[in-house]
Protein backbone atom coordinates (compact mmCIF):
# COMPACT_ATOMS: atom_id res chain seq x y z
CA UNK A 1 0.00 0.00 0.00
CA UNK A 2 1.26 3.48 -0.87
CA UNK A 3 2.00 5.69 2.13
CA UNK A 4 -0.89 8.04 3.08
CA UNK A 5 1.69 10.81 3.38
CA UNK A 6 2.76 10.25 -0.23
CA UNK A 7 -0.89 10.35 -1.30
CA UNK A 8 -1.47 13.67 0.46
CA UNK A 9 1.72 15.15 -0.97
CA UNK A 10 0.70 14.12 -4.50
CA UNK A 11 -2.72 15.74 -4.00
CA UNK A 12 -1.18 18.96 -2.67
CA UNK A 13 1.23 19.05 -5.62
CA UNK A 14 -1.69 18.59 -8.03
CA UNK A 15 -3.62 21.48 -6.49
CA UNK A 16 -0.52 23.67 -6.55
CA UNK A 17 0.12 22.75 -10.20
CA UNK A 18 -3.39 23.95 -11.06
CA UNK A 19 -2.67 27.22 -9.25
CA UNK A 20 0.61 27.63 -11.16
CA UNK A 21 -1.14 27.08 -14.51
CA UNK A 22 -3.84 29.65 -13.69
CA UNK A 23 -1.27 32.13 -12.35
CA UNK A 24 0.83 31.69 -15.48
CA UNK A 25 -2.19 32.47 -17.64
CA UNK A 26 -2.98 35.53 -15.53
CA UNK A 27 0.60 36.80 -15.84
CA UNK A 28 0.57 36.31 -19.60
CA UNK A 29 -2.86 37.86 -20.13
CA UNK A 30 -2.06 40.89 -17.96
CA UNK A 31 1.06 41.52 -20.10
CA UNK A 32 3.38 40.90 -17.14
CA UNK A 33 5.44 38.15 -18.76
CA UNK A 34 8.45 40.48 -18.90
CA UNK A 35 7.68 42.16 -15.58
CA UNK A 36 11.09 40.92 -14.50
CA UNK A 37 13.56 41.15 -17.41
CA UNK A 38 15.94 38.59 -15.92
CA UNK A 39 15.69 35.10 -14.42
CA UNK A 40 15.41 33.60 -11.82
CA UNK A 41 15.56 36.84 -9.84
CA UNK A 42 13.98 40.19 -10.58
CA UNK A 43 16.36 42.97 -11.61
CA UNK A 44 19.17 40.99 -10.01
CA UNK A 45 17.35 40.49 -6.70
CA UNK A 46 15.39 37.60 -5.20
CA UNK A 47 12.40 39.92 -4.88
CA UNK A 48 10.99 42.97 -6.63
CA UNK A 49 13.07 46.11 -5.95
CA UNK A 50 11.18 48.39 -3.56
CA UNK A 51 13.72 50.84 -2.17
CA UNK A 52 14.40 54.01 -4.13
CA UNK A 53 18.10 53.26 -4.61
CA UNK A 54 17.38 49.69 -5.70
CA UNK A 55 14.79 50.86 -8.22
CA UNK A 56 17.19 53.48 -9.59
CA UNK A 57 19.95 50.87 -9.98
CA UNK A 58 17.53 48.47 -11.70
CA UNK A 59 16.43 51.17 -14.13
CA UNK A 60 20.06 51.91 -14.99
CA UNK A 61 20.83 48.20 -15.51
CA UNK A 62 17.69 47.63 -17.64
CA UNK A 63 16.91 50.96 -19.33
CA UNK A 64 14.56 49.30 -21.81
CA UNK A 65 12.59 47.67 -18.98
CA UNK A 66 12.15 50.17 -16.12
CA UNK A 67 10.67 48.76 -12.94
CA UNK A 68 6.89 48.39 -12.98
CA UNK A 69 6.19 46.97 -9.54
CA UNK A 70 2.66 45.59 -10.20
CA UNK A 71 3.83 43.61 -13.22
CA UNK A 72 7.03 42.50 -11.50
CA UNK A 73 5.14 41.20 -8.47
CA UNK A 74 2.77 39.19 -10.67
CA UNK A 75 5.74 37.54 -12.36
CA UNK A 76 7.60 36.86 -9.11
CA UNK A 77 4.56 35.42 -7.32
CA UNK A 78 4.18 33.02 -10.23
CA UNK A 79 7.85 32.07 -9.90
CA UNK A 80 7.52 31.53 -6.15
CA UNK A 81 4.56 29.19 -6.68
CA UNK A 82 6.39 27.35 -9.48
CA UNK A 83 9.51 26.99 -7.34
CA UNK A 84 7.45 25.55 -4.48
CA UNK A 85 5.86 23.08 -6.90
CA UNK A 86 9.33 22.03 -8.03
CA UNK A 87 10.34 21.30 -4.44
CA UNK A 88 7.18 19.24 -3.86
CA UNK A 89 7.80 17.20 -7.02
CA UNK A 90 11.40 16.61 -5.94
CA UNK A 91 10.14 15.46 -2.53
CA UNK A 92 7.75 13.03 -4.25
CA UNK A 93 10.58 11.59 -6.33
CA UNK A 94 12.89 11.17 -3.32
CA UNK A 95 10.09 9.62 -1.29
CA UNK A 96 9.20 7.22 -4.12
CA UNK A 97 12.83 6.21 -4.65
CA UNK A 98 13.37 5.48 -0.96
CA UNK A 99 10.26 3.24 -0.94
CA UNK A 100 10.89 1.77 -4.39
CA UNK A 101 10.94 -1.83 -3.16
CA UNK A 102 7.33 -1.65 -1.98
CA UNK A 103 5.05 -3.26 -4.60
CA UNK A 104 2.40 -0.51 -4.74
CA UNK A 105 4.85 2.40 -4.84
CA UNK A 106 5.12 4.16 -8.24
CA UNK A 107 8.67 5.32 -8.96
CA UNK A 108 9.01 6.01 -12.67
CA UNK A 109 6.35 8.72 -12.85
CA UNK A 110 7.62 10.80 -9.89
CA UNK A 111 11.18 10.65 -11.24
CA UNK A 112 9.98 11.61 -14.73
CA UNK A 113 8.13 14.57 -13.24
CA UNK A 114 11.40 15.92 -11.84
CA UNK A 115 12.82 15.99 -15.38
CA UNK A 116 9.67 17.68 -16.64
CA UNK A 117 9.91 20.34 -13.92
CA UNK A 118 13.54 21.02 -14.90
CA UNK A 119 12.43 21.44 -18.51
CA UNK A 120 9.65 23.77 -17.35
CA UNK A 121 12.18 25.88 -15.46
CA UNK A 122 14.29 26.17 -18.60
CA UNK A 123 11.26 27.12 -20.67
CA UNK A 124 10.38 29.74 -18.06
CA UNK A 125 13.88 31.17 -18.32
CA UNK A 126 13.78 31.16 -22.13
CA UNK A 127 10.36 32.83 -22.07
CA UNK A 128 12.05 35.81 -20.44
CA UNK A 129 15.46 35.75 -22.11
CA UNK A 130 13.99 35.19 -25.59
CA UNK A 131 11.49 38.01 -25.06
CA UNK A 132 8.23 36.03 -25.15
CA UNK A 133 9.12 34.02 -28.24
CA UNK A 134 5.74 32.45 -29.17
CA UNK A 135 6.94 28.87 -29.62
CA UNK A 136 8.60 28.99 -26.19
CA UNK A 137 5.51 30.53 -24.56
CA UNK A 138 3.31 27.81 -26.07
CA UNK A 139 5.75 25.07 -25.03
CA UNK A 140 5.81 26.49 -21.49
CA UNK A 141 2.01 26.33 -21.36
CA UNK A 142 1.96 22.74 -22.63
CA UNK A 143 4.67 21.77 -20.15
CA UNK A 144 2.59 23.21 -17.31
CA UNK A 145 -0.50 21.33 -18.48
CA UNK A 146 1.51 18.12 -18.84
CA UNK A 147 2.85 18.52 -15.30
CA UNK A 148 -0.69 19.04 -14.01
CA UNK A 149 -2.09 16.04 -15.91
CA UNK A 150 0.67 13.67 -14.74
CA UNK A 151 0.37 14.80 -11.13
CA UNK A 152 -3.38 14.18 -11.27
CA UNK A 153 -2.75 10.73 -12.76
CA UNK A 154 -0.24 10.00 -9.97
CA UNK A 155 -2.73 11.19 -7.35
CA UNK A 156 -5.44 8.93 -8.77
CA UNK A 157 -3.04 6.00 -8.93
CA UNK A 158 -2.06 6.21 -5.27
CA UNK A 159 -5.42 7.45 -4.01
CA UNK A 160 -6.79 4.10 -2.88
CA UNK A 161 -5.31 0.85 -1.68
CA UNK A 162 -7.71 -1.24 -3.77
CA UNK A 163 -8.35 -1.14 -7.50
CA UNK A 164 -11.85 -0.11 -8.46
CA UNK A 165 -13.78 -2.22 -10.95
CA UNK A 166 -15.68 0.19 -13.17
CA UNK A 167 -17.70 -2.19 -15.28
CA UNK A 168 -17.10 0.09 -18.25
CA UNK A 169 -16.82 -1.59 -21.69
CA UNK A 170 -13.28 -1.43 -23.15
CA UNK A 171 -14.62 0.26 -26.31
CA UNK A 172 -14.94 3.50 -24.32
CA UNK A 173 -11.18 3.77 -23.75
CA UNK A 174 -10.20 4.76 -27.34
CA UNK A 175 -12.93 7.42 -27.42
CA UNK A 176 -11.74 8.97 -24.14
CA UNK A 177 -8.11 8.80 -25.25
CA UNK A 178 -8.91 10.49 -28.54
CA UNK A 179 -10.85 13.21 -26.72
CA UNK A 180 -7.83 13.85 -24.48
CA UNK A 181 -5.53 14.16 -27.51
CA UNK A 182 -7.94 16.60 -29.19
CA UNK A 183 -8.11 18.69 -26.01
CA UNK A 184 -4.31 18.90 -25.79
CA UNK A 185 -4.16 20.05 -29.42
CA UNK A 186 -6.81 22.70 -28.73
CA UNK A 187 -4.90 23.90 -25.66
CA UNK A 188 -1.81 24.23 -27.86
CA UNK A 189 -3.85 26.27 -30.36
CA UNK A 190 -5.10 28.47 -27.55
CA UNK A 191 -1.55 29.00 -26.33
CA UNK A 192 -0.42 29.90 -29.85
CA UNK A 193 -3.31 32.35 -30.18
CA UNK A 194 -2.42 34.03 -26.91
CA UNK A 195 1.34 34.06 -27.54
CA UNK A 196 0.80 35.80 -30.89
CA UNK A 197 -1.76 38.28 -29.50
CA UNK A 198 -4.42 37.04 -31.93
CA UNK A 199 -7.32 36.71 -29.48
CA UNK A 200 -8.84 40.11 -30.31
CA UNK A 201 -8.27 40.14 -34.07
CA UNK A 202 -11.77 38.73 -34.66
CA UNK A 203 -14.21 40.95 -32.81
CA UNK A 204 -17.47 39.36 -34.01
CA UNK A 205 -19.26 36.00 -33.98
CA UNK A 206 -19.84 33.75 -35.85
CA UNK A 207 -18.04 35.75 -38.54
CA UNK A 208 -14.56 37.21 -38.26
CA UNK A 209 -14.10 40.86 -39.21
CA UNK A 210 -17.61 40.66 -40.67
CA UNK A 211 -16.66 37.92 -43.13
CA UNK A 212 -17.19 34.15 -43.08
CA UNK A 213 -13.74 33.52 -44.56
CA UNK A 214 -11.61 36.69 -44.27
CA UNK A 215 -8.14 36.98 -45.84
CA UNK A 216 -5.77 34.70 -43.93
CA UNK A 217 -2.08 33.84 -44.07
CA UNK A 218 -1.68 30.39 -42.51
CA UNK A 219 1.95 30.00 -43.59
CA UNK A 220 3.00 33.13 -41.73
CA UNK A 221 0.62 32.58 -38.84
CA UNK A 222 1.92 29.08 -38.09
CA UNK A 223 5.61 29.67 -38.66
CA UNK A 224 6.97 28.19 -35.45
CA UNK A 225 10.57 29.38 -35.45
CA UNK A 226 11.48 33.01 -35.91
CA UNK A 227 14.53 35.15 -35.31
CA UNK A 228 16.10 35.37 -31.86
CA UNK A 229 16.50 38.82 -30.34
CA UNK A 230 13.14 40.22 -31.42
CA UNK A 231 10.86 41.54 -28.68
CA UNK A 232 7.63 39.61 -29.22
CA UNK A 233 5.63 41.44 -26.55
CA UNK A 234 2.47 42.75 -28.20
CA UNK A 235 3.01 40.48 -31.22
CA UNK A 236 4.77 41.08 -34.52
CA UNK A 237 2.38 39.40 -36.98
CA UNK A 238 0.20 41.20 -39.49
CA UNK A 239 -3.57 41.09 -39.57
CA UNK A 240 -3.95 38.18 -42.03
CA UNK A 241 -1.59 35.93 -40.04
CA UNK A 242 -3.36 36.68 -36.76
CA UNK A 243 -6.75 36.06 -38.36
CA UNK A 244 -5.51 32.66 -39.56
CA UNK A 245 -4.48 31.74 -36.02
CA UNK A 246 -7.75 32.94 -34.51
CA UNK A 247 -9.93 31.16 -37.07
CA UNK A 248 -7.91 27.95 -36.62
CA UNK A 249 -8.57 28.17 -32.88
CA UNK A 250 -12.29 28.62 -33.52
CA UNK A 251 -12.39 25.61 -35.85
CA UNK A 252 -10.42 23.65 -33.27
CA UNK A 253 -12.96 24.63 -30.62
CA UNK A 254 -15.81 23.24 -32.73
CA UNK A 255 -13.93 19.97 -33.31
CA UNK A 256 -13.01 19.70 -29.62
CA UNK A 257 -16.62 20.37 -28.60
CA UNK A 258 -17.91 17.61 -30.86
CA UNK A 259 -15.22 15.02 -30.02
CA UNK A 260 -15.12 15.61 -26.26
CA UNK A 261 -18.90 15.85 -26.06
CA UNK A 262 -19.24 12.60 -28.01
CA UNK A 263 -16.73 10.74 -25.84
CA UNK A 264 -18.21 11.97 -22.55
CA UNK A 265 -21.79 11.25 -23.68
CA UNK A 266 -20.78 7.78 -24.78
CA UNK A 267 -19.14 7.08 -21.42
CA UNK A 268 -22.17 8.47 -19.59
CA UNK A 269 -24.60 6.26 -21.53
CA UNK A 270 -22.66 3.00 -21.66
CA UNK A 271 -20.72 2.82 -18.42
CA UNK A 272 -22.00 0.73 -15.53
CA UNK A 273 -19.93 2.74 -13.04
CA UNK A 274 -21.41 5.60 -11.06
CA UNK A 275 -17.90 7.09 -10.74
CA UNK A 276 -17.42 7.10 -14.52
CA UNK A 277 -20.86 8.62 -15.04
CA UNK A 278 -20.15 11.42 -12.57
CA UNK A 279 -16.81 12.11 -14.22
CA UNK A 280 -18.48 12.15 -17.65
CA UNK A 281 -21.05 14.66 -16.40
CA UNK A 282 -18.23 16.84 -15.06
CA UNK A 283 -16.54 16.73 -18.47
CA UNK A 284 -19.76 17.79 -20.21
CA UNK A 285 -20.42 20.60 -17.73
CA UNK A 286 -16.90 22.00 -18.01
CA UNK A 287 -17.05 21.69 -21.79
CA UNK A 288 -20.20 23.82 -21.96
CA UNK A 289 -18.71 26.36 -19.56
CA UNK A 290 -15.53 26.56 -21.64
CA UNK A 291 -17.44 27.22 -24.84
CA UNK A 292 -19.43 29.93 -23.09
CA UNK A 293 -16.25 31.60 -21.80
CA UNK A 294 -14.72 31.49 -25.28
CA UNK A 295 -17.76 33.24 -26.75
CA UNK A 296 -17.74 35.79 -23.92
CA UNK A 297 -14.08 36.57 -24.60
CA UNK A 298 -14.93 37.59 -28.16
CA UNK A 299 -18.12 39.51 -27.40
CA UNK A 300 -16.62 41.31 -24.37
CA UNK A 301 -13.20 42.01 -25.98
CA UNK A 302 -11.16 39.69 -23.74
CA UNK A 303 -11.72 41.02 -20.21
CA UNK A 304 -8.94 39.75 -17.94
CA UNK A 305 -11.14 37.80 -15.47
CA UNK A 306 -12.97 36.00 -18.28
CA UNK A 307 -9.76 35.28 -20.20
CA UNK A 308 -8.06 33.90 -17.07
CA UNK A 309 -11.15 31.81 -16.31
CA UNK A 310 -11.01 30.43 -19.87
CA UNK A 311 -7.49 29.15 -19.15
CA UNK A 312 -8.48 27.84 -15.74
CA UNK A 313 -11.48 25.91 -17.05
CA UNK A 314 -9.27 24.43 -19.79
CA UNK A 315 -7.04 23.08 -17.00
CA UNK A 316 -10.09 21.70 -15.13
CA UNK A 317 -11.35 20.11 -18.33
CA UNK A 318 -7.95 18.48 -18.76
CA UNK A 319 -8.13 17.15 -15.18
CA UNK A 320 -11.61 15.74 -15.76
CA UNK A 321 -10.58 13.99 -18.99
CA UNK A 322 -7.45 12.57 -17.36
CA UNK A 323 -9.67 11.29 -14.55
CA UNK A 324 -12.12 9.78 -17.03
CA UNK A 325 -9.31 8.00 -18.87
CA UNK A 326 -7.93 6.66 -15.61
CA UNK A 327 -11.29 5.42 -14.35
CA UNK A 328 -12.07 3.67 -17.64
CA UNK A 329 -8.83 1.72 -17.37
CA UNK A 330 -9.68 0.33 -13.94
CA UNK A 331 -11.02 -3.18 -14.34
**Domain shared by 179 and 156, yes or no:** no
**Domain shared by 197 and 331, yes or no:** yes
**By C-alpha distance, which of 111, 141, 112, 107 is closest to 124?**
141
**Domain shared by 150 and 186, yes or no:** no
Sorted by sequence, the CB contacts under 8 Å of residue 52 that are 6+ apart come out as none
Helix (H, G, I), strand (E, B) or coil at 64: coil
**Domain shared by 182 and 117, yes or no:** no
Q: 162, 179, 212 — which closes off a domain?
A: 162
pLDDT of 153 reads: 97
Respond yes or no on whether the N-terminal peptide bond of residue 290 is cis (omega within 30° of 0). no
Catalytic residues: 75
Q: 130, 162, 194 — which closes off a domain?
A: 162
Percentage of the residues of the chain whose pLDDT score is greater than 70:
97
- Domain containing residue 41: 1-162
The band of 270, judged by pLDDT with boundaries at 50, 70 and 90, is confident
Across the chain, mean pLDDT equals: 94
Q: 146, 162, 178 — which closes off a domain?
A: 162
pLDDT tens for each residue of 180-214 = 999 999 999 999 999 999 999 999 999 999 999 99
pLDDT tens for each residue of 137-151 = 999 999 999 999 999
Average pLDDT over residues 157-167: 66
Q: Cβ distance 168 to 328 under 8 Å?
A: yes
Average pLDDT over residues 274-298: 96
**Domain shared by 144 and 1, yes or no:** yes
Q: What is d(CA 326, CA 164) in angstroms, rounded to the nearest whole number?
A: 11
Among the residue ranges 195-204, 227-236, 247-256, 266-275, the one predicted with the least confidence is: 266-275
pLDDT at residue 2 greater than cutoff 80 = no
pLDDT of 102 reads: 87
pTM of the model: 0.95
pLDDT tens for each residue of 47-76 = 999 999 999 999 999 999 999 999 999 999
Q: Give the total number of structural domains in the chain.
A: 2
Q: What is d(CA 139, CA 281) in angstroms, rounded to the nearest whole number?
A: 30
**By C-alpha distance, which of 44, 82, 322, 39 is closest to 179?**
322
pLDDT at residue 313 greater than cutoff 70 = yes
**Domain shared by 86 and 125, yes or no:** yes
Amino acid sequence: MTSPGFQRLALIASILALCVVVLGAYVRLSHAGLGCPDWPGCYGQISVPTETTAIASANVAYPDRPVEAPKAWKEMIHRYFAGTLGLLVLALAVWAWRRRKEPEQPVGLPVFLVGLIVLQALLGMWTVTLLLKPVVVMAHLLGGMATLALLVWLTLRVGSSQKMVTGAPPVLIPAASFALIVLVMQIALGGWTSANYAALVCYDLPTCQEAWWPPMDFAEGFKLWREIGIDYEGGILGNDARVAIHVAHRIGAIIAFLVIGWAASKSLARSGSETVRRTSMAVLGLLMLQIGLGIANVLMSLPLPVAAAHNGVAALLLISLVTLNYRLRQR
